[in-house]
């Protein structure tokens, strides 16, 4: 049975239930099945020629290109057969779409106005057979900071393919190196990385020394072998629409690869199962209530009350831990700054042979400062790792204990609760740890919705694990922790790079040898101070988010459990007899089994 | 009193006749091992090294604990890594400086010590100072207690790891100095984890600085305990964690101003009392241990003799039956042990591949990082000379440190798992009964017992198995030599691009030259660490092989013994039996004296 057939069979099941919520989930899922997509992200320095590549692909001058930095916002290319021509929209922060005039489109791409998240181009038909691709063209790394936060947080981890563009003449500069190192931290095995060396003189090929140099450096930075593409420069004054057919063929191959399609299909099947499992619950609940006594219901409520207390306990634990971290982290940054300062001061005072100013400043900029930053920062990230890891373990233990206790108690009230309890654990875990299907689809929208954020369905699905309760929980939190620590590392490095760059500028004009040291020490302290403030603020803000997520997770986790079994405010969906309900349940169960069988067979 | 009995010729003779097997590790027999322990314990100095990375306040702590002035220089550089031993002694001999290659030197003025322990005057310990002795008439130093001020263990690649482990090998206890901000770092944790099983007692002191508030101290303490518990759990023990907060600075002030209240408030008085009680009872504990060991020895030899006498008294038919039963028992044990040995083999194969893979990955990663770091530096116009050398050295050090961390972590984890496996090995008691090695080692009341293989299993004829478990519990040697080699790999790079070239050509030429050095460095790094891993695994393998051979031989021995009794001439038989009974009587008479 193919996936659409299954949807046809799921439809009446959802319809019978009369739940609006599940119905809308069904509709969204259907849209996803109609239009499976892969995400391709274009990255690279300002003026490396990303927008030209897009123009070349579309065969028309859609994106504004000039020698000056052009793209100030993310441009999304989206295939949509509802349009007859390429049509631009602004995607607003409130998740709405606004159609743009050609002038407004140009304006928004260069300087996005308040409230605009990114620009979307609806393309009636993707050229070169690139069906199923959503393409994101991003601003150069040299531009605004916040924009990149978004790129890194959302686009990189959600990408199926990353195309990194380097200008042949410029090579891999410091910004690129930093950016590639940054990317490396987010790269997972399932992201395909393509390096494009752009604007290569047309008589050169892979054997060119410079091309080799660029490729090798990129491979070192990313710690892996990478595929590269050479795109020739277009000479003359006319429209620059570089042809990169090899690149797009490779992208197409990737986007439409059987394994990726299969993967998406599997994810969709998982969601079908989840939807059906949710559809069983109301029936089971109704059935159970018809079978148990009033005293038993009262006992059930009592157990739920006890269970709720465990939630409070879990949240208390989270609060206490983060409260402590909020105290400790600033102290550690203070200490880190002091260590850096005293080290640098000794360093500067001991250097009396300022014979080559260029070289010494270079050493501080490229080695001493970044190294000190790394040493000090690692102390802090290691510390956070231990602490957050411990919290995860404690929470996991607490939750597992609470649930086992809860289940045992409820089942001991009456054996009638057995079937519903069995379904609950499976469902709740999927819901909370994967980000519920509803949440996912309603936030990120199907094709019709605006989709304020960017979330790749296939990537989300990847996080699915087996049925084992604890493993899944801890892997999820562990992943979150790892990426949190990586982000701190990346941000801290970036902050020190800014400091180092300012440092060079500020002492460049001080020629008098006697004043150098004092001035340099003063400037370094100013710089490390800035680093401390910015990085610490970043960590604290992220800790706050992490705490909130943890709290929310706990709330969702416990509440889902409670809501499903809670008998208060429960309105039975129908007045069916026991036998009829049982029949419905077994129908749904059969369908679930069928999907699972199909999944194995593909 | 009992000690003298152990050294009587007849006693020694009896032990050597019936428990003559030699321990393959030390090549000492049962009685020799015992004598060794007795001798060690009577001359024993109780070493308490104070460990911790630079800046944790080790020297200040020792000054506050033992001295009435700032005797120990507080800013000794960890790169010189000269340990200072503080022993009981009269005041007028202040310090003795010991060298690797010349006669010791006596020093009166603490100020002069700087010449030997400060990096400015003795860079990289070029004066070859091996250690410095200080003397002090202090009650804590009675009973042979020696405190050691050890240079920091912050950087894993510097030579001080070797010095530190030397003290840990002969140690009785250790004090770890920790900080509040930052609390235990990953490197500190890696170090503590690798030596944990070697420590009989570990006390952790969290140094509180004056500006640190109570909340800060509590927060730091919580984290420190978290980390220590994790290490303890990884080592699968249940030792309680003894962590105290001491304001070393205040304690020192209190000591200098002779102000007891200050010392009390700083948390020092409590700790001094605690140490006092430990060191006072130290000699008693040692004596108890020796008495216990001797009691065990008498019991073992009596068991052996009784077993032999019973054998002699049995008739031929009974012999046959006995042989059959014993053979079956032994066969079962051998079968079980072989199963364990097989799982050890499998585990080793798996681990070897895994660690190699891990190291290779880390080295590849490190190499790339080193290369990109150097690219960045050279491109910032640092193209030759001292600055480039220094940058290259430091970058190599960082890469080496990360890899060494993986190496230590891998070996330590392997060790912990191997220990669990080998603890299941079944040994034979001298009285002929069997139990797992874990049961055996439980009978040792002290961890210092672990400095020698368990003598009981040697007595039972399972010497090779005892050697295996000892080897497995003790990979510190491999770790140290691995780390030591890595320290030696970090090399200079001056660069020799001529100034005549354009800046870009200079950069290119420097990078080309660097490439070779980077390649060589990382290759040697991987090779030498992998070799240490291979050597360790190979020696465990060959030990396991020896256990197998030993078990087979053991069956033969048993068989021979019984055959000898059965086919001996009646005259000889009677003589032998008489001898056994005389020996038993003699041994029992010793026990009654005791």
Q: What is the CA radius of gyration of chain A?
A: 28
Partnered with residue A489 across adjacent β-strands are: none
Q: How confident is the model at residue A470 (pLDDT cuts 50, 70, 90)?
A: very low
The structure tokens listed for B264 are 């009390």
Residue B214 Cα, gap to closest chain A Cα (Å): 12
Predicted pLDDT at A147: 53
CB atoms B223 and A332 under 8 Å = no
Please report the sign of the dihedral spanned by the C-alpha atoms of residue A474, residue A480, residue A483, residue A489.
negative
Chosen from B182, B371, B397, B518 to mutate, greatest number of chain A CBs within 10 A: B182
B573 vs B577: CA distance, rounded Å: 6
For B76-128, strand residue ranges (E) read 84-88, 95-99, 105-107
Partnered with residue A336 across adjacent β-strands are: none
Strand B426-428 vs strand B242-246: parallel, antiparallel, or unpaired?
A: unpaired
Q: Which residues have a Cβ under 8 Å from the Cβ of B81 and sit 6 or more positions away?
A: B125, B151, B158, B159, B160, B163
Predicted pLDDT at A467: 33
Q: Is the peptide bond before A500 cis (omega within 30 degrees of 0)?
A: no
Nearest residue of A to residue B228, measured between CA atoms: A386
Predicted pLDDT at A439: 45
Asked whether this complex has an ipTM greater than 0.90, the answer is: no
A406 vs A224: CA distance, rounded Å: 48
CB atoms B368 and A371 under 8 Å = no
Predicted pLDDT at A67: 53
Q: Which residues of A touch B227 (CB under 8 A)?
A: 386
Chosen from B221, B372, B385 to mutate, greatest number of chain A CBs within 10 A: B372
A146 touches chain B (CB under 8 A): no
Hey, which of A104-113, A367-376, A463-472 has the most confident mean pLDDT?
A: A367-376
Least confident of A132-146, A465-479, B370-384, B427-441: A465-479
- Averaged over A578-590, what is the pLDDT? 88
Write the pLDDT tens digit of every residue in A108-128.
Answer: 887 778 878 788 898 998 998
Nearest residue of B to residue A351, measured between CA atoms: B387
Write the pLDDT tens digit of every residue in A388-423.
Answer: 888 888 888 888 888 888 888 888 888 888 888 777
Q: How confident is the model at residue A540 (pLDDT cuts 50, 70, 90)?
A: very high
Predicted pLDDT at B576: 87
Predicted pLDDT at A364: 83
Cα angle A489-A492-A496, degrees, rounded to a multiple of 5: 140
A177 touches chain B (CB under 8 A): yes
Q: How confident is the model at residue B167 (pLDDT cuts 50, 70, 90)?
A: confident
Write the pLDDT tens digit of every residue in B48-105.
Answer: 888 887 778 888 899 899 887 777 776 555 555 788 899 888 765 578 888 888 888 8
Predicted pLDDT at A323: 95
Write the pLDDT tens digit of every residue in A185-220.
Answer: 667 657 889 999 998 988 888 888 889 989 988 998
- Averaged over B418-433, what is the pLDDT? 81
Q: What share of chain B is helix, strand, coil (3-state, %, to 5)?
A: 65, 10, 25
Predicted pLDDT at A440: 45
Predicted pLDDT at B343: 93
More confident: A479 or A161: A161
Nearest to A174 among B373, B376, B391 (CB): B376
Q: How confident is the model at residue A510 (pLDDT cuts 50, 70, 90)?
A: low
A472 has pLDDT over 50: no
Nearest residue of B to residue A220, measured between CA atoms: B368
B221 vs B183: CA distance, rounded Å: 8
Largest CA distance in chain B: 102
CB atoms A366 and B395 under 8 Å = no
What mean pLDDT is reported for chain B?
A: 81
- Averaged over B392-403, what is the pLDDT? 88
Residue B408 Cα, gap to closest chain A Cα (Å): 17
Chosen from B155, B181, B188, B362 to mutate, greatest number of chain A CBs within 10 A: B181
Nearest residue of A to residue B186, measured between CA atoms: A382
Q: Which residues of A touch B375 (CB under 8 A)?
A: 177, 217, 220
More confident: A237 or A472: A237
Q: How confident is the model at residue A447 (pLDDT cuts 50, 70, 90)?
A: very low
Q: How confident is the model at residue A445 (pLDDT cuts 50, 70, 90)?
A: very low
Nearest to B391 among A328, A335, A367 (CB): A367
- Averaged over A341-349, what is the pLDDT? 86
How far is residue B182 from each of residues B187, B189, B221, B527, B580, measured CA to CA in Å?
12, 13, 11, 35, 66
Percent of chain B's residues with pLDDT above 90: 17
A212 touches chain B (CB under 8 A): no
How far is residue A510 from each of residues A269, A504, A507, A513, A516, measured CA to CA in Å?
67, 11, 5, 8, 7
Q: How confident is the model at residue B428 (pLDDT cuts 50, 70, 90)?
A: confident
Q: Which residues have a Cβ under 8 Å from the Cβ of A502 and sit 6 or more positions away?
A: A523, A527
What mean pLDDT is reported for chain A?
A: 79
Write the pLDDT tens digit of every residue in B24-36.
Answer: 667 777 888 777 7
Nearest to A379 among B182, B368, B372 (CB): B182
B370 has pLDDT over 50: yes
Side-chain-facing half-sphere of A157: CA atoms under 13 Å: 21
CB atoms A358 and B381 under 8 Å = yes
- Averaged over A568-595, what is the pLDDT? 82
B484 vs B162: CA distance, rounded Å: 7
Nearest to A379 among B185, B216, B383 (CB): B185
Predicted pLDDT at A207: 86
Predicted pLDDT at B93: 59
Nearest residue of B to residue A370, measured between CA atoms: B373
Angle between helices B476-489 and B385-423 (to 10 degrees): 170
Q: C-alpha B388: how far from its chain's center?
A: 38
Predicted pLDDT at B161: 64
A324 has pLDDT over 90: yes
Q: How confident is the model at residue A75 (pLDDT cuts 50, 70, 90)?
A: confident
Q: Which residues of A touch B380 (CB under 8 A)?
A: 362-363, 365-367
B219 touches chain A (CB under 8 A): yes
Hey, which of B20-24, B106-110, B335-339 has the most confident mean pLDDT?
A: B335-339
Angle between helices A20-34 and A258-291 (to 10 degrees): 170
Residue B32 Cα, gap to closest chain A Cα (Å): 47
- Residue with token string 């009262």: A298
CB atoms A328 and B398 under 8 Å = no
A383 touches chain B (CB under 8 A): yes
CB atoms B216 and A327 under 8 Å = yes
A367 touches chain B (CB under 8 A): yes
A409 vs A414: CA distance, rounded Å: 9
Q: How confident is the model at residue A464 (pLDDT cuts 50, 70, 90)?
A: very low
DSSP of A501-538: HHHHHHHTT---HHHHHHHHHHHHHHHHHHHHHHHHHH
Chosen from A182, A359, A393 to mutate, greatest number of chain B CBs within 10 A: A359
Percent of chain A's residues with pLDDT above 70: 80
- Scanning B360-379 for CB atoms below 8 A from A yields 364-365, 368, 371-373, 375-377, 379
Nearest to A359 among B185, B365, B387 (CB): B387
CB atoms B391 and A365 under 8 Å = no
Nearest to A220 among B223, B368, B381 (CB): B368
Q: How confident is the model at residue A228 (pLDDT cuts 50, 70, 90)?
A: very high
CB atoms A174 and B220 under 8 Å = no
Write the pLDDT tens digit of every residue in A279-297.
Answer: 888 888 888 888 888 888 8
Q: Which residues of A touch B394 (CB under 8 A)?
A: 367, 371
Predicted pLDDT at B457: 57
């Amino acid at each position: 049975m193919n996936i659409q057939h299954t949807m046809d069979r799921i439809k009446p099941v959802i319809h019978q239930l009369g739940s609006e919520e599940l119905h809308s989930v069904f509709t969204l899922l259907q849209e996803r099945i109609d239009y499976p997509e892969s995400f391709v992200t274009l990255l690279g320095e300002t003026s490396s020629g990303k927008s030209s590549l897009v123009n070349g692909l579309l065969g028309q001058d859609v994106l504004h290109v000039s020698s000056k930095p052009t793209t100030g916002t993310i441009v999304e290319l989206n295939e949509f057969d509802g349009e007859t021509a390429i049509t631009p929209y602004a995607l607003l922060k409130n998740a709405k779409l606004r159609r743009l005039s050609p002038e407004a489109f140009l304006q928004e791409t260069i300087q996005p106005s308040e409230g605009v998240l990114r620009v979307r181009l609806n393309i009636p038909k993707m050229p070169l057979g690139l069906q199923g691709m959503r393409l994101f063209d991003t601003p150069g790394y040299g531009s605004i900071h916040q924009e990149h936060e978004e790129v890194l947080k959302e686009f990189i981890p959600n990408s199926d393919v990353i195309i990194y563009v380097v200008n042949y003449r410029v090579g891999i500069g410091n910004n690129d190196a930093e950016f590639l190192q940054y990317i490396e931290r987010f790269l997972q095995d399932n992201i395909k990385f393509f390096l494009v060396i752009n604007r290569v003189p047309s008589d050169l090929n892979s054997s060119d020394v410079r091309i080799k140099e660029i490729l090798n450096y990129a491979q070192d930075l990313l710690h892996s072998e990478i595929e590269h593409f050479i795109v020739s420069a277009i000479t003359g004054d006319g429209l620059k629409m570089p042809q990169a057919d090899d690149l797009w063929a490779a992208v197409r191959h990737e986007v439409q690869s059987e394994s990726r399609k299969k993967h998406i299909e599997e994810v969709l099947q998982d969601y079908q199962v989840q939807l059906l499992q949710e559809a069983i619950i109301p029936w089971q609940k109704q059935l159970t209530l018809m079978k148990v006594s009033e005293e038993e219901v009262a006992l059930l409520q009592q157990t739920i009350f006890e269970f709720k207390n465990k939630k409070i306990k879990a949240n208390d634990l989270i609060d206490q831990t983060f409260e402590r971290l909020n105290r400790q982290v600033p102290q550690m940054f203070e200490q880190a700054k002091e260590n850096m300062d005293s080290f640098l001061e000794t360093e500067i005072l001991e250097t009396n042979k300022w014979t080559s100013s260029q070289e010494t400043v270079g050493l501080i900029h490229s080695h001493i400062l970044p190294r000190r930053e790394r040493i000090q920062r690692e102390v802090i990230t290691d510390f956070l790792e231990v602490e957050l890891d411990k919290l995860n373990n404690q929470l996991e233990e607490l939750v597992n204990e609470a649930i086992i206790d809860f289940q045992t108690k409820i089942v001991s009230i009456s054996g009638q609760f057995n079937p519903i309890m069995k379904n609950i654990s499976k469902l709740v875990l999927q819901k909370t740890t994967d980000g519920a299907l509803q949440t996912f689809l309603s936030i990120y929208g199907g094709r019709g919705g605006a989709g304020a954020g960017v979330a790749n369905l296939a990537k989300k699905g990847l996080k699915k694990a087996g049925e084992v309760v604890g493993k899944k929980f801890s892997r999820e939190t562990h992943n979150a922790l790892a990426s949190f620590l990586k982000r701190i590392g990346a941000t801290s490095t970036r902050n020190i790079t800014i400091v180092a760059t300012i440092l060079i500028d500020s002492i460049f004009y001080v020629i008098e040898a006697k004043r150098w040291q004092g001035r340099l020490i003063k400037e370094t302290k100013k710089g490390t101070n800035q680093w401390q403030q910015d990085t610490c603020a970043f960590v604290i803000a992220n800790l706050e988010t992490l705490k909130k997520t943890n709290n929310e997770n706990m709330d969702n986790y416990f509440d889902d459990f409670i809501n499903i079994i809670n008998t208060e405010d429960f309105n039975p969906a129908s007045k069916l007899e026991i036998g009829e309900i049982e029949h419905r349940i077994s129908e749904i169960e059969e369908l679930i089994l069928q999907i699972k069988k199909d999944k194995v067979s593909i | 009193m009992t000690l003298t009995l152990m050294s009587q010729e007849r006693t020694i003779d009896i032990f050597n006749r019936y428990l003559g097997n030699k321990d393959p590790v030390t090549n000492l027999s049962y009685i020799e091992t015992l004598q060794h322990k007795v001798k060690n314990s009577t001359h024993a100095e109780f070493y308490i090294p104070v460990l911790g990375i630079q800046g944790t306040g080790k020297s200040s702590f020792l000054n506050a604990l033992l001295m009435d002035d700032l005797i120990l220089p507080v800013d000794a550089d960890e790169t010189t890594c000269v340990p200072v031993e503080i022993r009981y002694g009269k005041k007028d001999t202040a310090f003795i400086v010991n060298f690797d290659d010349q006669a010791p030197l006596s020093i009166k003025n603490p100020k002069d010590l700087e010449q030997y322990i400060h990096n400015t005057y003795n860079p990289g310990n070029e004066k070859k100072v091996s250690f410095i002795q200080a003397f002090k008439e202090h009650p804590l130093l009675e009973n042979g207690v020696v405190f050691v001020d050890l240079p920091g263990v912050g950087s894993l690649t510097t030579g001080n790891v070797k010095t530190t482990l030397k003290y840990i090998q002969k140690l009785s206890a250790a004090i770890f100095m920790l900080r509040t901000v930052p609390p235990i770092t990953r490197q500190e944790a890696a170090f503590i984890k690798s030596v944990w099983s070697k420590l009989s007692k570990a006390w952790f002191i969290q140094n509180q600085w004056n500006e640190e508030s109570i909340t800060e101290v509590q927060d730091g303490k919580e984290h420190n305990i978290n980390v220590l518990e994790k290490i303890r759990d990884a080592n699968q023990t249940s030792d309680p964690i003894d962590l105290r907060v001491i304001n070393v600075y205040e304690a020192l002030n209190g000591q200098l101003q002779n102000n007891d209240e200050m010392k009390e408030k700083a948390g020092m008085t409590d700790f001094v009392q605690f140490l006092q009680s430990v060191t006072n009872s130290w000699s008693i504990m040692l004596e108890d241990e020796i008495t216990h060991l001797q009691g065990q020895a008498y019991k073992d030899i009596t068991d052996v003799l009784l077993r032999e006498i019973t054998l002699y008294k049995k008739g031929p038919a009974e012999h046959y039956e006995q042989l059959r039963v014993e053979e079956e028992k032994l066969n079962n044990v051998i079968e079980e042990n072989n199963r364990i040995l097989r799982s050890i083999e499998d585990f080793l194969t798996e681990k070897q591949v895994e660690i190699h893979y891990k190291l290779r990955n880390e080295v590849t990663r490190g190499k790339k990082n080193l290369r990109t770091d150097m690219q960045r530096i050279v491109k910032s116009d640092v193209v030759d000379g001292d600055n480039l050398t220094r940058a290259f050295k430091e970058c190599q050090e960082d890469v080496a440190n990360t890899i060494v961390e993986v190496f230590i972590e891998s070996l330590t984890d392997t060790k912990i798992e191997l220990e669990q496996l080998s603890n299941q090995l079944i040994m034979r008691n001298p009285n002929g009964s069997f139990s797992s090695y874990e049961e055996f080692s439980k009978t040792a009341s002290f961890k210092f017992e672990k400095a020698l293989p368990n003598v009981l299993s040697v007595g039972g004829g399972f010497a090779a198995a005892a050697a295996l478990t000892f080897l497995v519990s003790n990979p510190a040697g491999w770790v140290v030599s691995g780390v030591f080699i890595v320290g030696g790999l970090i090399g200079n790079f001056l660069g020799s691009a001529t100034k005549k070239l354009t800046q870009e050509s200079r950069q290119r030429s420097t990078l080309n030259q660097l490439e070779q050095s980077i390649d060589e460095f990382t290759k040697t790094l991987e090779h030498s660490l992998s070799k240490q891993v291979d050597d360790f695994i190979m020696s465990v393998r060959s030990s396991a092989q020896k256990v197998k051979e030993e078990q087979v031989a053991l069956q033969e021995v048993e068989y021979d013994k019984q055959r000898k009794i059965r086919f001996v001439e009646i005259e000889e038989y009677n003589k032998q039996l008489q001898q056994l009974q005389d020996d038993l009587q003699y041994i029992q008479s010793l026990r009654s004296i005791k």
